[in-house]
Amino acid sequence: MIKPHGSETLTPLFVYDQEKHHALQAEAETLPSLLLSSAAAANAVMLGGGYFTPLTGYMTVADAVGVADNMHTADGTFWPTPVLNLTKDVSGIKDAKRIALRDPNVEGNPVLAIQDIESIEEFTDEQMQTIAEKVYATTDSDHIGVSTFLSQGNIAISGPIQVLNFSYFQTDFPDTFRTCVEIRNEIQEHGWQKVVAFQTRNPMHRAHEELCHMAKKDLGTDGILIHMLLGKLKKGDIPAHVRDGAIRKMVEVYFEPNTVMITGYGFDMLYAGPREAVLHAVFRQNCGCTHFIVGRDHAGVGDYYGAFDAQTIFHDQVPEGALEIQVYEADHTAYSKKLNKVVMMRDVPDHTKEDFVLLSGTKVREMLSEGKAPPPEFSRPEVAQILMDYYQNEVAGK
């Protein structure tokens, strides 16, 4: 296992000591409180789980601007995306030094964390636009990541936090949600030294499955961490519980026993393409993985990013030595009719488009909703069945 990012040890901000935890819960009820945005709540969960090691809380304006400009905080820590607590209204916490942060995603808005306020600052409109441009490579409000970022407000509340729960992730996904601490412990229990991580916000089709097999073989790793995002997605993306079931079935049938860990993390998708690919690499380094798969249009949305921008950023913008984790760069993978197996397109220069089984996401969703299984070259029948059941129930429920 490799060491966490920017630190010799993980720095999870969840309060594990029971006595301290109870005392903080009681204190929280006496403090002024702030209802977080979903993005800020997800940031708290990630800070709590050690995914944001070595950060100790929410960033200042200077930190966020530095991260947007050159991927470094004001104190020189390498970091690819701002980690902010943005809001529109601070009238309820004026002059407070310590506040309770409430969860917008759980009924009753329970306290998620306590924050010590170091500063309350306003971003200018120009700064907000610049951060959007640098992080998302666009200021287009049709980009879901940009619209989410700009809609939270421009007041940044910075300072360290103590996390008291993991929002809905631990209760809704008890078998899947894991902190970095838990993943590192499990890797150690397996006795794995080299581990390759695969990020997904979608169900895994044949191409994804084979990509994991290819990476494990090429890199000679002991195991694979399939690590799925469990937070908020854009409309039309498949819910986490459906993805979870489909991935578990695929691993059960098509992977050797004890070679895969199926886990998830509590974060809202940014759709920030290259910058988010670097953030994903940081997460996996903090989990103890030695390698991370970055494929075509990683963390992308629409046509905002080039097909392999998420790979080139590691060469062009990530400074030498900033990360210890190594990136496994994957080409587009698809089933070859000529060779009767899934291949990376760069490995078969003699192929034309007609030699592959290629289906658009729209076409796949259309087939599933009609109760038609995609061809077995594209999707395993067991996986297709789970997805067909979901789509037909969703359509029937409308």
Measure the CA angle with vertex 139, ends 330 and 268; round to 5°.
55
**Mean pLDDT of all residues in 12-31:** 97
Residue pair 273/302 in contact (Cβ under 8 Å)? The answer is no
Residue pair 273/305 in contact (Cβ under 8 Å)? The answer is yes
18-167 fold: Sulfate adenylyltransferase (3.10.400)
Three-class DSSP category at 119: strand
Q: Clarify whether 202 is annotated catalytic.
A: yes
pLDDT tens track for 330-384: 998 999 999 999 999 999 999 999 999 988 777 888 888 888 888 999 999 999 9
The model's pTM: 0.94
**What tokens does 79 get?**
């970091």
pLDDT higher than threshold 60 for residue 395: no
Q: Clarify whether 201 is annotated catalytic.
A: yes
Three-class DSSP category at 186: helix
Measure CA 348 to chain center. 31
pLDDT at 296: 87
**Mean pLDDT of all residues in 62-91:** 97
User: Of 255-259, 272-276, 278-282, 298-302, which range is least confident?
Assistant: 298-302
pLDDT higher than threshold 60 for residue 222: yes
Task: Tell me where in the chain the CATH 3.40.50.620 domain(s) lie.
Answer: 172-265+271-397
Residue 40 — pLDDT band, cuts 50, 70, 90?
A: very high
pLDDT at 201: 86
pLDDT at 223: 97
pLDDT higher than threshold 90 for residue 181: yes
**Order of strands, sheet of 341-344, starting from the edge strand that comes earlier in the sequence:** 341-344, 333-336, 356-357
pLDDT at 239: 85
Q: Beta-strand (E) ranges in the chain?
A: 33-35, 57-58, 86-87, 98-102, 111-116, 119-122, 155-163, 195-200, 223-229, 260-265, 291-294, 326-329, 333-336, 341-344, 356-357
pLDDT at 156: 98
Task: Tell me where in the chain the CATH 3.10.400.10 domain(s) lie.
Answer: 18-167
pLDDT tens track for 84-136: 999 999 999 989 999 999 999 999 999 999 999 999 999 999 999 999 999 99
What are the b/e assignments for 157-166, b being 16+ CB within 10 Å? bbbbbbbbbb
The catalytic residue among 98, 201, 248, 365 is: 201
Distance, in Å, from the CA atom of 49 to the CA atom of 40, rounded to the nearest integer, reads: 14
pLDDT higher than threshold 60 for residue 396: no
Identify the CATH number of the domain defined by range 172-265+271-397.
3.40.50.620
The catalytic residue among 98, 154, 202, 248 is: 202
pLDDT higher than threshold 80 for residue 398: no
